[in-house]
Each structure stands twice: as C-alpha cells, then as structure tokens.
Amino acid sequence: MERPMGMDHLNNSKILVSGGAGFIGSNLCEELLQHNNEVICLDNFSTGKSENIIPFLGNKNFRLIVGDIRDLDTCKKAVEDVDYVLHEAALGSVPRSIKDPISVNDVNVSGFLNMLVASKEAGVKRFIYAASSSAYGDSASLPKVEDVIGKPLSPYAITKYVNELYADVFSRIYGIDCIGLRYFNVFGRRQDPNGAYAAVIPLFVKKLINHESPVINGDGENSRDFTYIKNVVQMNLLALVTTNKAALNTVYNTAFGERTTLNQLVKYLKEYLSEYDPGIANIEVVYGPDRPGDIPHSLASMEKAESLLDYSPRYAMREGLKEAVNWYWNNLK
C-alpha cells in the first residue's frame, strides 16, 4: 500500500478512533495499524458494523471498547493515556436529523462535548474531529471557502457547526489543540449501502447491481464534491502530524475540489459497473422530488488545506469511484 504523506512522523502512538467501526473510522483504524500505532476503537455499533473491524481483532495493537459517547465515564476510559483522538462518532444524514433531531443532537453535540471534556482532562495532544460541509448551509458562493458560511439548513448541519464552536472555545480556554475536517460527500469501501439513510453512491451501486432504477431527487443537475475515502484518510493523517502552529485550531475543507452532478455520477457508475455486467448500461434512472434540507451545489476550495497542511489529494473522483465500484462488486454479490 502506498504510504500516505505524513506517516513517517506518526509511529508508535496511541490513538483513539471514536466511531472506529464505521465507514470512515474503520478505514482510519486500518491505516494507523499498518504503521505500528496502538489503536483504540470506541463504538456502540448503532451505525458501525462489526464486520468492518473483524480483520483487526487479532492485531495486538488494536483494542475495542464497546460504548457510547453519550456516557462521559466511557469517554474518560477510552482516552486514558491516549496521544491523539480522531473523533468520527456521530449520527449522520440530513433526513435522519429531520426525522429525529433529539437523538442526533444528543450524539453529535452532547457526545462531542463529552469527548472534548474527556480529552482535555486526559491531556490529549491533539483532537481531530469530523466536521461537515453542511456547515455552509444556504451560502450560495462557490467554491466553498472555510470562512464564508450561511445559515444551517437541517438539524444535522446545526450539530456539526456547534462542534466547530465548541472546539474553538476549548482550544482558546483550555489550550487543547483541535482541528476540524469538513467532509464533502465521502465515499468508498465499507460505506453501507443498506438502511433508510444510505449515502447516494453505495445506494445507487446496490440498485444498479440488482438491476433496479436509482432514484435521483430533483432533476439530477445538483452537484457535489464527491471525495474518495483515501483522500479523507490522508487529510486526517496530515492534521495529526502537522508541526505548523498556524495550522492548528481551525477547520479545513476535506474534499477533492471538483464538482460532479448526480446525472454524471450515475453515468460513471453505469459505465464502471457494466464492465462486470453489461446489462447495467441500459438501466433507466427515476427522478423524484427535491429532498428537504439539500443544497443545490457543493464545491470545496482546497487552498487553505494546501497552504497550511500541504494537502494534495491523491485520488481524483473518477479514479476513486472505479476502485469503490470494484470493492462493491466483490462484496455485494
């Protein structure tokens, strides 16, 4: 496996990954273990999957804590003697937050605060957390620049922006170094295609493999900055190892920096999947109503990450999509 930038300076550390059995968290656990770090995974398996971490259970450097970030004592236990925290645990999905704002707030705000308090009290060196592009809200400007945001459009967006506010206050008052990574439509291996709140790429892939029509909300011209998981792992590692003081206690777009419409996305998926099953090329798309809380377009400016973290994404969207399709074909069949 290609060695990501920054890993030369991150070995033999003790790192907690909250939500480590989830899609992004398990990819982070895997990468950190491959470079001789001790990894603690904290997960309550509400959205995380046991199969995501089964390959790590025999590794002497991996430890699983089954617990909930809404319990402060559990958080304190998880961060004991930890050098770094990668906080990925959250209840995602805009539609989920619209249906159940209380649960989403409990996990994403109260749970986040518990993790911050526990990390501060344990003397954790750095707290890296999953922020979200949903913080840009109704801001119409493109590309999205970190300092220009609008009003949140969903309860989920509110919770993720509150995370940024708490991290900023904790860094100022308590001196704990925090970095927030605003993820833009992350996709890749281990992203769950099942359930009511499945992300668009694994959901579309599953439907196409099953010769079912994917349903696009709206006319399909909404666009997103789809970001391959390996670029997200790369950003987390850069945030962990940076020695640039100016890079700390702020937030960064975590993306590729290119827009793809949903119509284009389906076209690419059909192209790549039809290499395995030619019949997929002829499956028609169904168009439905716009979804509440959705923004029409999303595109990240990568200037800040490039300047302060020396970030240069390794994988273009289509390159990552082809890898992801290959993984899903071999794991969903």
Q: Which amino acid is at 187?
A: F
What tokens does 35 get?
A: 């470079």
Please give the helix or strand (H or E) that residue 194 lies within, else none.
none
**Residues 9, 73: Cα–Cα separation, whole Å:** 31
Alpha helices in the chain (DSSP H): 23-33, 50-53, 72-78, 94-99, 101-105, 112-122, 155-174, 200-209, 229-241, 262-273, 303-309, 317-332
DSSP string of 217-262? ESSS--EE--EEHHHHHHHHHHHHH---GGGSSEEEEES-S--EEH
Cα 1 → chain centroid: 21
What tokens does 19 get?
A: 């939500």
Contact of 153 with 290, CB cutoff 8 Å: no
Environment class of residue 198 by beta-carbon count within 10 Å: exposed (0-12), middle (13-18) or buried (19+)?
middle
DSSP 8-state secondary structure symbol assigned to residue 125? S
Contact of 91 with 18, CB cutoff 8 Å: no
What tokens does 329 get?
A: 């074909």
Positions marked catalytic:
156
Name residue 64's beta-bridge partners: 41
What tokens does 261 get?
A: 């419409």
**Residues 26, 52: Cα–Cα separation, whole Å:** 6
**Residues 316, 108: Cα–Cα separation, whole Å:** 30
Alpha helices in 123-221 (DSSP H): 155-174, 200-209
